Chain A
Amino acid sequence: MAALVAADAEPVVLAVRGDVVVVRVGDVVLKAHEAGTDLGALSARLRLAGDPRLGGLLLAPRAAPAVVAGRVVTAWPLGQPVPPRDPDAVPLEEAGAMLAALHRFTAADFAGPLPPSGARPRLERAVRELPRGSAAARRVLRAFATLPPLDTAATTLIHGDWHLGQLVRRDGGWRLIDVDDLGTGDPAWDLARPAALHAAGVLDPELWGRLLDAYLAAGGTGVSPHDPWAELDVPARALVVQMAARALAAAERDGTALTDEQEALIDACGRIISATGIGQRG
């Protein structure tokens, strides 16, 4: 790893999320992955990110993963993120087309087995780490109980944790970063976060519509054009639960109150429980 970065470059911390640390050194970004990261699965995911057929969609790593001081570390070229809080600058059309293009790939396109997407384990981790005891936490758990078990037969290649922070500009185009949950899964999960935010009433319907229209116009196969909620319902419920659980955990950790957006997710959990008629007790 040291050979990849300039000796005189000052490291700049870009993000710290739990025990995940992302550091920029010159034009290289180094990511220390969560403790307990499966090196074999992550290596398979990095091989996908380096596959030339996916070069226009995924940012290619600078090197194979390395273990540094007991932690799995990956190295990436520096890209420019989407400017936050500017609806006019959000590349929703490109993002929708990129997801549609990604979802054209299946396990059969690659040699060797693909790891299953980490989307569902991510949800289950968030629920495990939810601080119990509050009325809000009980609502989140009941909404979680409405979800059917994971369909493990899926073969489509999905990103697994898609949101606008996963797009960077590099080499004149947008690329997807963060391949930790890349693998086979239900393609509707890649649209689940914005779908959940739309259903919770916190994402501008027009922005959601632009993304979905772009995805469908580019031939995206994850949702039906005439009834996208047939496929989106379960993943969107899952992301409401995941984001609500994360919000409660962060509020407890930092001793802060929920924001309006986060409150709207807890309210959405309540409506999920009423609408599905599952998880009313417990």
Chain B
Amino acid sequence: MQCPKCHANMRTYDRMGVHIEQCDGCRGVFLDYGELEAITRLETQMAVPPPPPPAAPAPGYAQPGWGAQPHYGGHYGHRKHRGLGGLFFSS
């Protein structure tokens, strides 16, 4: 095909599974539908993954200064449905 800019001949290259057309004259690159997305995908795969964010609990899960620490007094972890005692249901 011909370059839409300078009308020189374009050559097809295959780079890591992505077809690109490059112009022999102006070196411009032509991408078919979906090829830009394919390149973006490749870029993401090759990028070094960022370190995982620190596992800070959401603010509400935190305890006030006087709160029970986990495993406090055996109230945690021993009852299967510890969260739904009568106190959450009555005045």
Contact = CB atoms under 8 A, between A and B. Distances in A.
A163 B59 contact: no
B72 A213 contact: no
A94 B60 CA distance: 18
B83 A228 contact: no
Contacts of B41: none
Nearest to B91: A161
Interface centre among B60, B67, B83 (most CB of A within 10 A): B60
B75 A87 contact: no
B81 interface: yes
A229 B75 contact: no
A209 B61 contact: yes
Nearest to A246: B91
Given A86-B84, A225-B59, A275-B65, A163 B91 contact: yes
Interface in B55-91: 58-69, 72-76, 81-91
Contacts of A267: 68, 72-73
A86 B88 CA distance: 12
A213 B87 contact: no
Interface in A259-273: 259-265, 267-268, 271-272
Contact of B68 (A17, A243, A264): A264
B90 to A, nearest CB: 5
Contacts of A225: 59
Give the interface residue-count category, chain A: 35 or more
A216 B74 CA distance: 31
Interface in A25-41: none
A164 B62 contact: no
A210 B65 CA distance: 21
A232 interface: yes
B interface SS class: loop
B89 A163 contact: yes
A30 B46 CA distance: 69
B60 to A, nearest CB: 4
A183 interface: no
A204 B62 CA distance: 12
A237 B72 contact: no
A229 B68 contact: no
A262 B76 CA distance: 14
A121 interface: no
A204 B82 contact: yes
Nearest to A166: B91
B66 to A, nearest CB: 4
A124 interface: no
The list of the 6 closest CB pairs from A to B, nearest first, reads A204-B83, A201-B68, A212-B60, A275-B66, A271-B66, A199-B67
11 contacts: A82-B89, A164-B89, A198-B63, A200-B75, A201-B75, A203-B83, A206-B83, A226-B59, A232-B64, A261-B86, A271-B66
Given A85-B84, A87-B84, A197-B88, 20 more contacts: A84-B86, A84-B89, A163-B91, A193-B87, A194-B88, A201-B73, A203-B82, A204-B82, A206-B83, A216-B60, A223-B60, A228-B60, A229-B59, A260-B74, A264-B68, A268-B66, A271-B66, A272-B66, A275-B64, A276-B66
